[in-house]
Amino acid sequence: MKRDLRIKQALVVMKVELKRYVLARRWLGVYFAAFAPVLLLLFVGIRMRWRGVSLSDLSEAYAFFYQTFMLRLAIFFSCALVFSQLFRGEMLEKTLHFYLLAPVRREVITAGKFLAGGVAMALIFGASTILTNIFIYLPASSAGTFFLEGEGLAYLIRYIGVTILACVAYGGIFTLTGLKYRNPVIPAIIIGLWEAFYFVLPASLQKFTIMHYLQSLLPLVIDRGPFSVVVDASSGLFSVLILVSLAALLVWAAGKILIKTEITYSAD
Amino acid sequence: MQPDQLIVFDNVSKFYGEVLGVNRVSLSIEPGVTSLVGPNGAGETTLMNLMTGMLHPTKGSIRVLDVLPSDPERFYRNIGYCSQFDAFPRGLSGYHMIHSMMSLHGFTNKEAEERTWNVMERVGMTEAAHRRVAGYSKGMRQRIRLALALAHDPKVLILDEPLNGLDPMARAEVIELFRKFADSGMHVVISSHIMHEVDIVSDSVIMLSGGYVVAEGEIQGVRQEMEDHPIQILIRCDRPAVVASSVFHQDSVVEARIHTDGGGLLVSTRNPDQFYELLNRIILEHRIAVESVSPADENINAVYQYLVGSNGATPL
């Protein structure tokens, strides 16, 4: 009974958050990061349509685009913006007390907010991943066959999966940092550098990056140059478990911080 | 009275770093309208935020109807808090805010709808219900905060400056509403700097100064605690000089000032009961035509000024 109520409460929080933020001005940057590449690839794809570019070249190009731009920049920084603001934004706007005055466990509030961010980011970047992936194959004459009979669809599904897991894992991190730090920009930059250059870290430290596990799930691996330290990929199931468990742990920790949080807006 | 009917502060202190919020507060608040009175920074808002779990005490503990704030699922069912923060979540209408809050309370969609419309009607906001809160006037936002605090029928209503931004008509209605709640056995805790309104509505007062509770109890009771402080009584009559000379025979009368218009006098006495008996005798003896006799300062402002000094007073 209590569990049902808590699930309902988390979903109410999620719905309220989505209603508040999906069309908010502060998310313009997120939409731009997600959909500007879609328009760019559509434009390039139309111009180069049916030029007979090989599928393997396009797959590699997409792998490069996805791993460098989408994962490291667009998804990472959008998650930083959205999830850090889940609580910090409320403190700045002096509206957090509305939730805290409801008969809801604070962990449930945290879960609801995290779900809202996760659903929104997964939908936005999931759509972006699908569209960019389809549009990049426009120059190939056999794109249709590649998706329907070849590896295209399997690749696409894996990219979507990685996108969702990236949103979940980075979401967990930034939900926590948004509550813990008054200025979440500094931790975002530090984590961003750690994640962006994970491949030059010693093998043992690479296991402490999100990127390592995301990379293990991708269909193609790109060459990262002479300084990269090559590490064996973790198994798919293990990577998924690690990323989901990590996010759950971080959201739980954020909930515990929220329990101790006081409403002293003037100090924020 | 049972603990599940009381708001209990047990030796509560709250410090913001090294700054004192409230210190060593021990209170036991019974049902009825209780007003927290004090100048800005005296600690009323801190006390309210402690009472609602928005702040955690540095020392001591707080129980509202025998429930600790660390049990939010039970604690906040009992509490409705109308805070003074005038910020609302963006993008939501008044209706949506209250409906969502009712859903968080666990009401079904239909119940939440009914409660939302009922409370909207109660605060006179039905017509603007679907407008975004951002477009509301200050008074409308105050009504929505009140509606949010009332919608789930709490047993304890805590209101920080609840009459701010309301027009006189709405103030009168809200004051009547508070009285009704109190008469039905609810706790209504109010902070206000508008003394005459506190006077009208309160059953008891808690006076704060510099983070300390300087007095608490019924308004009359607080007055009686101040044995050294004389009460001022205003008498409007045709021969104030006769009254003045007659009352001076009584030891408890410390001052009698005749009004410049010659139509009355102000008497300060340490024993009002004795004084009223004497006054009756004087009136009969000298056949004095009395227009009115009324306590001049038996309100919170006077009591407050006496207790914390004139610097603590706030204008009416």
CA dihedral B101→B104→B106→B108, nearest 10 degrees, is 60
The structure tokens listed for B28 are: 């036991």
Per the DSSP assignment, residues forming a β-bridge with B75 are none
Element (H, E) at B23: strand B19-29
With bands split at pLDDT 50, 70 and 90, how would you rate the model's confidence at A217?
very high
Q: How much is the pLDDT for B299? A: 59
* Chain A neighbors of B104, CB-CB under 8 A: 9, 12-13, 99, 102-104
Q: Across-strand partners of B294?
A: B234
Q: What is the pLDDT of residue B151?
A: 95
Quick one: pLDDT band at residue A267, thresholds 50, 70, 90? Answer: very low
User: What was the pLDDT predicted at B150?
Assistant: 92
Where b means 16+ CB within 10 Å and e means fewer, A1-16 reads eeeebbeebbbbbbbb
Burial category of A66 from C-beta neighbours within 10 Å (exposed 0-12, middle 13-18, buried 19 and up): buried
Q: What is the structure's pLDDT at B311?
A: 47
Kindly determine whether residue B89 and residue A104, on different chains, have CB atoms separated by under 8 Å.
no
pTM metric for this prediction: 0.82
Enumerate the β-bridge partners of residue B80.
B157
Q: How far apart are CA B293 and CA B10, in angstroms?
A: 42
Give the per-residue pLDDT at B225.
58
* Contact assignment for B87 to A93 by CB distance below 8 Å: yes
Q: What is the pLDDT of residue B314?
A: 38
Q: Tell me if B77 and A103 make a contact (CB, 8 A cut-off).
A: yes
φ and ψ of A116, to 5 deg: -60, -50
Contact B43, B215 (CB under 8 A): no
| B316 CA: distance to closest CA in chain A (Å) | 27
Q: With an 8 Å Cβ cutoff, is B92 touching chain A?
A: yes
For the four alpha carbons of B230, B236, B241 and B243, in that order, the dihedral sign comes to negative
List CB contacts (< 8 A) between B91 and chain A: 19-21, 23-24
Q: Which of A263, A264, A256 is nearest to A101 (CA)?
A: A263
Token output for A50: 């049916």
Give the helix/strand (H/E) hosting B265: strand B264-269
Q: Which among A43, A82, A35 has a CA at the least distance from the CA of A188?
A: A82
Q: Which of B15, B104, B130 to mutate to test the interface with A (most CBs of A within 10 A)?
A: B104
Give the closest-approach CA distance of A178 to chain B in angstroms: 18
Point out the residue among B55, B101, B105 whose CB comes nearest to the CB of A263.
B55
To the nearest whole Å, the CA of A16 is away from the closest chain B CA by: 7
**Per-residue pLDDT tens digits for A223-241:** 777 778 888 888 999 999 9
Question: What is the band of A30 on the pLDDT scale with cuts at 50, 70, 90?
Answer: very high
Nearest to B233 by CA among B200, B169, B181, B280: B280
- Give which of B7, B44, B35, B17 is closest to B211, Cα–Cα: B44
Q: How far apart are the first and last CA of chain B?
A: 35
pLDDT tens across B199-246, in order?
A: 778 888 898 888 899 888 886 666 565 555 677 888 999 999 999 988
The strand pair at B204-209 and B212-218 is best described as: antiparallel
Residue type, B218: E
* Burial annotation B10-32 (CB, 10 A radius, 16+ → b, else e): eebbbeeeeebbbbebebebebb
Instruction: Return the percentage of chain A with pLDDT > 70, whole number.
Output: 97
Does the CB of B71 have a partner CB in chain A at under 8 Å? Answer: no
- Report the gap between the CA of B305 and the closest CA in chain A (Å): 29
- Are the beta carbons of B104 and A13 separated by less than 8 Å? yes
* CB contacts, 8 Å: A265 with chain B: 85
- Residue B148: the pLDDT is 93
Cα separation, A244 vs A165, whole angstroms: 7
DSSP B163-199: TTT--HHHHHHHHHHHHHHHHTT-EEEEE-S-HHHHH
Q: Read off φ and ψ for residue B61, nearest 5 degrees.
A: -145, 160
Distance (Å) of CA B3 to CA A221, A222, B64: 66, 68, 8
Query: pLDDT under 70 in chain B at which residues?
Result: 165-168, 193-197, 219-229, 297-316
Q: Say what the pLDDT of residue B297 is.
A: 64
Q: What is the pLDDT of residue B300?
A: 59
CA distance A62 to A137: 9
Amino acid at A197: F
pLDDT, one tens digit per residue, over A86-96 is 999 888 888 99
A36-67 tens-digit pLDDT: 999 998 888 888 776 677 888 889 999 999 99
pLDDT of residue B315: 35
CB contact B49 to A (< 8 Å): yes
Distances B193 to A236, B181, B187 between C-alpha atoms, Å:
64, 21, 20
First to last CA, chain A: 37
Residue B312: what pLDDT?
43
Q: Quick check: A219 pLDDT over 70?
A: yes
Q: Is the ipTM of this complex over 0.90?
A: no
Contacts 24+ apart (CB under 8 A), B303-310: B303/B205, B303/B207, B303/B215, B303/B219, B303/B222, B303/B223, B303/B226, B304/B37, B304/B38, B304/B195, B304/B207, B306/B226, B306/B229, B307/B207, B307/B209, B307/B214, B307/B215, B307/B222, B307/B226, B308/B38, B308/B39, B308/B207, B308/B209, B308/B214
* Type and span of the H or E element at B79: strand B79-82
- Closest Cα partner for A166 from A228, A232, A35, A77? A77
**Cα distance between residue B58 and residue B61, in whole Å:** 9
Under an 8 A CB cutoff, do A20 and B83 touch?
no
pLDDT above 90: residue A254:
yes
Identify which of A259, A170, A148 has the alpha carbon closest to the alpha carbon of residue B71: A259
* Chain-chain contact of B49 with A263 (C-beta, under 8 angstroms): yes
